[in-house]
């Protein structure tokens, strides 16, 4: 297979060619590795590459799952895999090894997704940009190498946008799938809380805010991946409502006309730049043309400042857990260069947080859930900006104080983490771009458990304005 053909295919296209005998997993893996070798260095999107072992694995691969046996990438998020160490973007956690595969890693394998590397992340996956010191250089946006890929799944988004793979693992605890998808012009769905397994080594992440998933070139690849990886895991603390049927089947069906709320303003009068508002208008126009009822509405009233503090409290507490667990395992004390300054600030903050404040923060997340679900009683979906600004220039989030960072993030990714708090599904849609080609995304948010509706409408929008035809040149 030639590179040009490989780069034109989504994951299900590749699977169809595998099934017909037109190509092999080995040939696809060889293409992926060659494209990665050419493009990944400029982007700094990959780490823990296992090129030769993965090529050997593809050579002996037995076809299985919806994807058959196509190239794939795991995020450097600490998702346990016996094949790949992990660092979470931290020098302190560098080269963490695992003697088991997580439930999700096993499900990716059974879906026919063959990982050959991990993708870069910011330290502890806690930044909406991927510029970890551990990675030696920032991860760059293929649409504009001076801009951020977003984070924390920044390497994954860059790799999909650059056509290294058509689909890659991501995770989202405050926008970490949707922000990089928005920055890099690819599709990213955050699933409902409890939809995707997190075991067996843990039951939840970040107080129930975090979930895993994928970023992809096409909606149908995400739908197929979600069919393969979703489903309750025994012993999990949360369970999403059982899905009614296949997501892949759902996107092929015409939806009824929906009531869709449109948000053009943010909490606390946080300003929204012209380009995101233009993207919202573009998406709203497409939705009307598709027969949906689009209604301008204000977001529900919440204590947004209180939520930002609660989110920061939960993150800082998790930094303490990660750092102290590592130090306990190694028998070492924390050194000056173990953590980046802003994460050291978060660690120090976390050490001061009393138990009552942590519990109050969790309770605040639950209050957000109730406010959002009550609001959604009047609507099938919400359309909102993905980000309040264009993808940031590299270096713009260089704060050294953890709370200053969280406040800045709250004004950039305003419409992201609140839906991690509520547990609702939400997707970033790459339907708009500036004249210079910089992606400007919108976001669809659904009721708890209704990934099917988000995927269905996303597929309609993709058909009306196929973003797959746009490809970065760098």
Return the active site residues: 75, 152, 176
For the chain, the three-class secondary structure string (H helix, E strand, C coil) is CCHHHHHHCCHHHHHHHHHHCCCCHHHHHHHHHHHHHHHHHHHCCEECCCHHHHHHHHHCCCCECCCECEEEEEECCCCCCCCCCECCCCCCCCCECCCCCCHHHHHHHHCCEEEEEEECCCHHHCCCCCCCHHHCCCCEECCEEEEECCCCCHHHHHHHHCCCCCEEEEEECCCCCHHHHHHHCCEEEECCCCCCCCCCCCCCCCCCCCEEEEEECCHHHHHHHHHHHCCCCCCCCCCCCCCCCCHHHHHCCCCCCCEEEECCCCHHHCCCCHHHHHHHHHHHHHHHHCCCEEEECCCCCCCHHHHHHHHHHHHHHHHHHHHHHHHHHHCCCCCCCCCCHHHHHHHHHHHCCCHHHHHHHHHHHHHHHHHHHHHHHHCCEEEEECCCCCCCECCCCCCCCHHHHHHHHHHHCCCCHHHHHHCCCEEEEEEEECCCCCEEEEEEEECCCCHHHHHHHHHHHHHHCCHHHCCCCC
């Amino acid at each position: 297979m030639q590179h040009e053909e490989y780069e034109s295919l989504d994951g299900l296209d590749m699977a169809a060619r595998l099934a017909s005998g037109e190509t092999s997993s080995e040939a696809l893996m060889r293409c992926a590795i060659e494209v990665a070798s050419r493009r990944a260095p400029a982007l700094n999107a990959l780490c823990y590459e296992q090129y030769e072992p993965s090529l050997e694995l593809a050579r002996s691969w037995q076809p299985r799952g919806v994807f058959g046996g196509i190239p794939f990438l795991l995020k450097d998020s600490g998702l346990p895999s016996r094949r790949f160490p992990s660092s979470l973007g931290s020098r302190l956690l560098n080269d963490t090894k695992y003697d088991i595969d997580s439930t999700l890693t096993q499900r990716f394998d059974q879906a026919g997704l063959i990982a050959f590397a991990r993708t870069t992340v910011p330290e502890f996956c806690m930044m909406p940009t991927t510029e970890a010191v551990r990675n030696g250089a920032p991860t760059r946006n293929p649409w504009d190498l001076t801009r951020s890929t977003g984070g924390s799944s920044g390497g994954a988004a860059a790799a999909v946008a650059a056509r290294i793979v058509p689909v890659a693992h991501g995770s989202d605890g405050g926008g970490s799938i949707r922000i990089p998808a928005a920055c890099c012009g690819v599709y990213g769905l955050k699933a409902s809380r409890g939809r995707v397994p997190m075991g067996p080594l843990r039951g939840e992440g970040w107080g129930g805010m975090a979930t895993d998933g994928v970023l992809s070139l096409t909606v149908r690849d995400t739908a197929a991946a979600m069919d393969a990886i979703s489903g309750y895991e025994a012993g999990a603390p949360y369970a999403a409502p059982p899905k009614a049927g296949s997501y892949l089947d759902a996107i092929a069906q015409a939806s009824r006309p929906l009531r869709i709320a449109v948000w053009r303003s943010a909490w606390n009068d946080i300003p929204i730049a012209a380009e995101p508002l233009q993207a919202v208008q573009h998406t709203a126009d497409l939705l009307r043309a598709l027969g949906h009822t689009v209604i301008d509405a204000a977001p529900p009233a919440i204590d947004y400042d209180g939520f930002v503090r609660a989110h920061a409290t939960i993150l800082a507490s998790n930094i303490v857990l990660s750092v102290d667990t590592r130090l306990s395992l190694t028998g070492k004390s924390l050194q000056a260069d173990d953590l980046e300054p802003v994460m050291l600030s978060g660690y120090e903050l976390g050490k001061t947080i009393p138990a009552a404040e942590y519990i109050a923060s969790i309770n605040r997340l639950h209050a957000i859930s109730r406010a959002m679900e009550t609001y959604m009683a009047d609507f099938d979906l919400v359309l909102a900006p993905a980000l309040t600004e264009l993808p940031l220039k590299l270096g713009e989030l260089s704060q050294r104080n953890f709370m200053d960072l969280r406040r800045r993030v709250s004004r950039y990714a305003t419409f992201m983490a609140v839906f991690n708090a509520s547990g609702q599904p939400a997707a970033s849609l790459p339907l708009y771009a500036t004249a210079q080609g910089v992606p400007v995304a919108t976001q669809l948010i659904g009721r708890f458990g209704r990934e099917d509706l988000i995927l269905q409408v996303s597929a309609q929008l993709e058909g009306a304005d196929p973003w797959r035809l746009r490809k970065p040149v760098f």
